[in-house]
Structure 1
Amino acid sequence: MTLLKVSNLTQRYGNHVAVNHIDLSVEAGQLVAFLGPNGAGKSTTINMLTGITRPQSGTIDLAGLKPGTRAYRHQIGVVFQNSVLDADLTVRQNLMWRAGMYKQIDNAFVTRLMQAFDIETIAGQKYGSLSGGQRRRVDITRALLHKPRLLFLDEPSTGLDIQTRNKIWAVLNQLRVEFQMTIILTTHYLEEANIADYVYVIDHGEIIAADTVSDLKAKYAKDVLRVTTTDMAKLTALVDPQWPTTVKGHQVEIMVPDVDATIRFLTAARPLITGMELKRGDMNDIFVALTGKEIR
């Protein structure tokens, strides 16, 4: 079932087109990743989807609800890049104040969230005194208090250690399964996008690719097999002519199409191989292939 439908969404700042007529379709329960370089239009898109800014044109429909309405706001949760909580209030005071903005808060669920994100022991501390990882876990708890149907995560893992990231995603994935909660994620940690159900790649305000992770990998991220040999001529003779190949001294790099083809080649070339390494195509390869190698 389609939960969020976006058509022809556009935003300009003067002569600069930040978001250029994009269309999105998000199914209920999906984890959808927005990827793109700095300044690509990701955060501008999130701001429009969350109702912070009004698009200059286009429509946003969340199960029949429109941004800017109370009903829409009560169906979404947002974790911003920068915290919106009060540094001088305790963790518990911040959460209770936010909970008061919604009707029929499930207090047992709030307690469960605090336990799941390991923030019960810091509930009496001022928010401003917390570490970055602790603040982020509180931020996410705050966004989930009212059991939103759609959770926006705008670069939620920036600066966090791997243990904190693993904890956050373990809890979010459990809630997503249990409540059919939908998540829209923007991130620069491309490995996080590997678990997404669908990926939109945005650049210069436009969607330049939209597909599942597996299909994007098949199109843009080839596996690279590096083989060392003492007889390059015999080894390269066994390589399929359609596979791009680069010889560097006693090592050859081969772009292989899939695992089965790789195994067949390695089996045939085994007597000639003195060393090998297989680098699987990943989200980093997809990102660079679509948006380029230049720093922006």
Structure 2
Amino acid sequence: MILLNNISKRFGKKSLFEQLSLPIAAYQITVLLGENGAGKSTLLQILAGLERADSGEILYFEERKTAKDLKDFVGYVPQDIALWEHLSIEDNIQFFRSLIKQPISQQQINDYYEQLHLVDLHQPVSQLSGGTKRKANIIVGLLAAPHFLILDEPTVGIDLKSRYEIHQLLRHLKQSHTIIMTTHHIDELESVADQIAVIGKDPFYSDVLTAKNMSFYK
């Protein structure tokens, strides 16, 4: 389990969250819901060691970890596409793989290609669909064989088929990874979420989940 204890974060006079506590169950998919500006992306960055909380602590399987430790422990997939547009998917993957001390094998990469039905491996990224870019973005986050996978809006703006294929991969990955992600798609909760946490003050999300008889943390 990954445990957030009394995490607080402010930007100037704006408080994103105060004394937020949340358990993230091991080998499950936790989904964060909330309005824009509620701090979901910032919370993911704190979990990934890219941003610091003002107070509180995070225990990763009962251990504190430094930002350096988290580089090997966490796979972080940002909402923005983190690929070189002029390179192909294969060239992007090999470039980012070369930066990792102990990357996954080429066979594992090929398995991810197959699971995500990625076939346009040698065209420039600039010529590819949004769904194809999202899939490649996720593979980059998996290259270091992380224990903890963090995904910020991994299915935003893509077609239904690509969303389905990404969901299939995430359900497979949770057998060996602890996963947390954000989404604005309520229907994704029924598809992939094992645990739901509502971030922010807008009651809309809590009301929708209550109407659907879905349990959640707040």
Equivalent position of 2:106 in the other structure: 107
Shift of 1:147: 2.2
Within the candidate set 197, 200, 208, 1:200 is matched to: 197
Shift of 1:67: 4.4
Partners in 2 of 1:60 and 1:108 — Cα distance? 34
Equivalent position of 1:125 in the other structure: 123
Percent pairwise identity: 31
Shift of 1:157: 1.1
Partners in 2 of 1:182 and 1:112 — Cα distance? 20
Shift of 1:192: 1.0
* Structure 1 contact 85–127 (Cα < 8 Å) conserved: yes
Normalised to the residue count of structure 1, the TM-score between the two structures is 0.66
Shift of 1:8: 1.4
Structure 2 portions without partners, runs of 5+: none
Match runs of 1:99-248 below 5 Å: 99-105=97-103, 106-119=105-118, 121-177=119-175, 179=176, 181-194=177-190, 195-204=192-201, 220-221=210-211
Task: Specify the code of the residue in structure 2 equivalent to 1:113.
Answer: Y
CA-to-aligned-CA distance 1:157-207 (integer Å, 9 cap, x gap): 111111111111112212222x2x1110110001111231211111149xx
Shift of 1:113: 0.9
Within the candidate set 24, 32, 35, 1:34 is matched to: 32
Normalised to the residue count of structure 2, the TM-score between the two structures is 0.88
Task: Specify the code of the residue in structure 1 equivalent to 2:150.
Answer: F
Equivalent position of 2:19 in the other structure: 21
Match runs of 1:229-268 below 5 Å: none
Structure 1 portions without partners, runs of 5+: 210-215, 222-280, 292-296
Q: Write 1 or 2 for the structure with the bigger share of strand.
A: 1
Shift of 1:61: 2.3
Structure with the greater relative contact order (CA < 8 A, sep ≥ 6): 1 or 2? Answer: 2
Partners in 2 of 1:77 and 1:21 — Cα distance? 25
Partners in 2 of 1:90 and 1:202 — Cα distance? 37
Partners in 1 of 2:99 and 2:170 — Cα distance? 22
CA-to-aligned-CA distance 1:102-146 (integer Å, 9 cap, x gap): 233222111111222222x32211122211111011111111122
Partners in 1 of 2:23 and 2:160 — Cα distance? 31
* Structure 1 contact 89–127 (Cα < 8 Å) conserved: yes
- Runs of 4+ with >4 A deviation: none
Equivalent position of 1:68 in the other structure: 67
CA RMSD of aligned residues (A): 2.5
Partners in 2 of 1:130 and 1:36 — Cα distance? 30
Equivalent position of 1:255 in the other structure: none
* Structure 1 contact 46–154 (Cα < 8 Å) conserved: yes
